Every structure is written in structure tokens, then in C-alpha cells.
A = this chain, B = another copy of it.
Amino acid sequence: MAENKMAEKKMVEEITSMDEDFAQWYTDVVKKAELIGYTSVKGCMVIKPAGYAIWDLIRRQLDERFKDAGVENVYLPMFIPESLLQKEKDHVEGFAPEVAWVTHGGLQPLQERLCVRPTSETLFCDFYKNDVHSYRDLPKVYNQWCSVVRWEKETRPFLRSREFLWQEGHTAHATAEEAQERTIQMLNVYAKFCEEVLAIPMIKGQKTEKEKFAGAVATYTIEALMHDGKALQSGTSHNFGDGFAKAFGIQFADKDNTLKYVHQTSWGMTTRLIGAIIMVHGDNEGLVLPPRVAPVQVCVIPIQQKKEGVLDKAYELRDRLQSVCRVKVDDTDKSPGYKFAEAEMRGYPIRVEIGPRDLEAGKCVLCRRDTREKTEVCLDDLEGEVTKLLEIIQREMLERARAHRDAHTYTAVNMAQFEKIFEEKTGFVKAMWCGEQACEDLIKERLSVTSRCMPFEQEHLADTCVCCGKPAKKMVYWGKAY
């Protein structure tokens, strides 16, 4: 046991403590859990098998929910001709500074530059313009899974990189009401997915004018609180009204035989969600994965595996558990202590320990990754025990994340309070706002925090704006954001 403890200790020592340096802890976990690999393409990352498998589970489960919401998948080109990008003014202003330009195809210079899509509103508009003629062609509720490129200067694995994976939904509707409904519907799909699958509670709300998407009439967002008290924008849903439709000329003949412009929405979530999982659930031993996005939910670790029957029993348990969860056996020649540390680093929700004595007693030990709590269970109904425990872990991880967020959500009614909070702590601050961008700018300047959203669940904390003291219009969540 002494040797195991040392091996375990050694592996853990290789990651920085999160209380000491959260950013370094994050980088260490991302590397030691083998989520990300090295590449000589600046600002880009390799997503390794352990990282990609999480994305695959996100994609599969989110896609199912999309299908239940009537969404169909398509694929559009990755290139946008410059003239197309420029059709909607706000949009091009927002994105032009951070796109990558293709200027040569084969050995020839191109007649027109193409940008690598930073997002595909313009391409979908170009497509809908040709595909939508009558009210019978509406609504279009399309989505694509792809990668996009934004030429960021500072990058961090999963949180901000020059290329990232995402889904982008783009819809076209006959009426403004239907577009607004779809915008909110998809935001709700996102929030529910994050709570139920990623075990991350979300604040749903609307972005201020200052923070909204380039070209949108209204942007809605889900915001999560990370372990270090910083906020992470985790998904957005935009209502474009008929702005893009007018810029691109997307008209349809309505039932009354008049030509009308369509109303559009778009919505997206990205590999950034993997960053959220790490920063909400992780601890000083490494990654902690919610069961529903854990590529390995149960890792069976044989103790004294050279003793007769131990390895065979481990394989037998794996074969039995395969019907209820994603399971593997660690049958490498590493010491049990090292295997324990590695299973913890990789965030497997449950570790099953089985040794010679357990064999005799017809028992094994289940160890939870999230609480590190151990229980001895009878082998007879291992499938049932594991199923039950995975559900408990999933539920309790969400509860703990919610408790952490609530414990780090503060209220301020004047600037003195507001400043004091951010001097001492990091978290969400709820405060009233007059609706003027001047106050938003001033708050950002003085406290280095941004408005995260105007939550759907409004509270009346005071009559006046936290900044200027004029009559308040909205309660806003403020925070330092990734």
C-alpha cells in the first residue's frame, strides 16, 4: 500500500493545485487527462481520443434533442466569398477582423478572396434565397456540425482556439413570432441539455445591446459559473428578425399571395463545453466526468491481478456491466495505486476494485470519483448497484454545482458594494441597471466585469441603477468571463 500511495501521490503532484493557480491547474488537467495534444499549427489544438469521445457523446445526445425539436442536419461549404460576407453590415464589421482569408487555389490567385467560415449566417442566407419561394417551403430548421475559424490572438484549449468544433443551427420562418419562439425554444434545449447531461446549471437570459451578436436583433445566452467564480458563456441563440432577409433578399409568397421577408434565427454550442465540464466538476485529482458524458463510466481495477481468478473475475464483471454502462478493465502491469490515480485523473465516475479477498466474499468495492466515497457491494446485483450509483452521481454533481454557484452569487445595490464584492471574491453579482450602455462601460472599466445577461427570472433588488442611481429597468448578472 505504501508503494501505491507514492505512485498515486506522484501523479497528483504533477498537477498544480487549483487553489494555488487555477489557470495552470486547468492546463495540467487538460494535458494529464490526455484531452489535448501538441500541434505546430499556432493557436490550434489536437483533440485526443479521451477529449474527442466526450465531444462525440455531447454531439450524439444533443443531436437527438435537436431531432425531437424538428431540426434537420445539412452541410454547407466552409468558404464564404468576400462579397457574400459583406452583405450584412453589422455582421461583417463584427467578424471581418478575425477571419482567415484564402487567396490562392491550386497555383492560381483567386479572383475573389474566400474567408474560412467564422460562422455561416451568410451562407445559409445565400442558400435560403434560392430554396425558399413559398410559405410551403417554410419553416427551414437546419443545423450543421462542423468546425469554424476565428483568428484569436490569445488561445486556450477548448475555451478559445483559432479553430473549434461546434454546431450551428440556422432557421427561417414566415413570421416574427415563430422566429422568436424558435430562438427561445433552442435556448431551452441548450439549458436542459447542460443541466441533464453535463450536470451544469445555467442562468438563462438576454444579452444587452452591447454584448449581442453582430447582426442580431436579440441574443439570448446560457451562462455557467466555473469553480474559480468566473462565468462561461456556454451557448447562444439569436433572433435576427428580417435584417439578414432584407440584406440577402430572401422573400416568399405568403398564403395571401404577397411577397414577404422571412424571419431568421441562429444558435450554437461548441467544444468549449468540454472546458466547462473540466472547470465546473474537476478537482485536485484531475477530471471528474458526469456519467452521461463519460466515455468510460466504470473502470474495473483488479488488485493482485496475478493471483488466480482475479483477472478472469475482472473480465467477467466487465462483460456483465457492458449491458448497463460504458466499462473497461485496466489490466496493464501498472501498480493498483497508479491505476487508481490514473482513473481519477481521467475522471471515470466509478472505479470497481476487485481482489482475491473480494472474490472469496463474493463482493467488490465501488469507489465514486466525485466524492471518493467507497462502498462494498455484493457481486450478485452489480449491474443494479452500478446503474443506481451512476444516476446518484449524475444528480449529485448537478446539485453540488448548483450549490457552488448559489454560494458564489452576490447582490449589490450600489457601486461601493459592487466594488467590495469583486475586491474580495469572484462570482456572479446580481445588480439593477438603468439600460444605458454608459453604465455598462463604466462598470467594465472600474471592475473589469461584463454584463453576462438579463436573466429571464428577474428580481427587484432595488429601484435604482447600481451605477448611476437613475431608475432601474432590468436586473443583470455581472461577472468576469472566460
List the interface of chain A (C-beta within 8 A of B): 37-41, 44-49, 52-53, 55-56, 72-81, 84, 96-107, 114, 116, 123, 126-127, 130-131, 142, 146-147, 149, 151, 162-163, 165
Q: How far apart sit A38 and B41, CA to CA, in the bound complex (Å)? A: 33
- Contact check, A73 vs B44: say whether CB atoms are below 8 A apart: no
Beyond known contacts A44-B77, A79-B163, A102-B103: 14 more, CB 8 A cutoff: A39-B126, A40-B126, A48-B74, A49-B74, A52-B72, A52-B74, A52-B75, A75-B165, A78-B149, A97-B106, A97-B107, A103-B103, A103-B104, A116-B116
- Contact check, B79 vs A41: say whether CB atoms are below 8 A apart: yes
Q: How far apart sit A76 and B49, CA to CA, in the bound complex (Å)? A: 11
In the assembled complex, how far is the CB of residue A75 from the closest CB belonging to chain B, in whole angstroms? 4
What chain B residues lie within 8 Å of A74 (beta carbons)?
Answer: 37, 46-49, 52
Q: How far apart sit A163 and B96, CA to CA, in the bound complex (Å)? A: 22
In the assembled complex, how far is the CB of residue A40 from the closest CB belonging to chain B, in whole angstroms? 5
What chain B residues lie within 8 Å of A105 (beta carbons)?
Answer: 100-101, 151, 162
Could you list 23 A-B pairs, sorted by A, with CB under 8 Å? Answer: A37-B131, A41-B77, A46-B75, A49-B72, A53-B72, A53-B73, A75-B165, A77-B163, A78-B78, A96-B107, A100-B104, A100-B105, A100-B106, A100-B114, A101-B102, A101-B103, A101-B104, A102-B102, A102-B103, A105-B162, A106-B151, A116-B116, A146-B147
Interface centre among A53, A98, A127 (most CB of B within 10 A): A127
What chain B residues lie within 8 Å of A114 (beta carbons)?
Answer: 41, 100
Please pick, from B39, B102, B149, the residue contacting A76 in the complex, using a CB distance under 8 A: B39
- Contact check, A73 vs B52: say whether CB atoms are below 8 A apart: yes
Residue of B nearest to A104 (CB): B101
What chain B residues lie within 8 Å of A73 (beta carbons)?
Answer: 49, 52-53, 56
What chain B residues lie within 8 Å of A146 (beta carbons)?
Answer: 147
- Contact check, A37 vs B127: say whether CB atoms are below 8 A apart: yes
In the assembled complex, how far is the CB of residue A161 from the closest CB belonging to chain B, in whole angstroms? 9
Q: How far apart sit A259 and B130, CA to CA, in the bound complex (Å)? A: 59
What chain B residues lie within 8 Å of A142 (beta carbons)?
Answer: 49
- Contact check, B76 vs A46: say whether CB atoms are below 8 A apart: yes
- Contact check, B77 vs A39: say whether CB atoms are below 8 A apart: yes
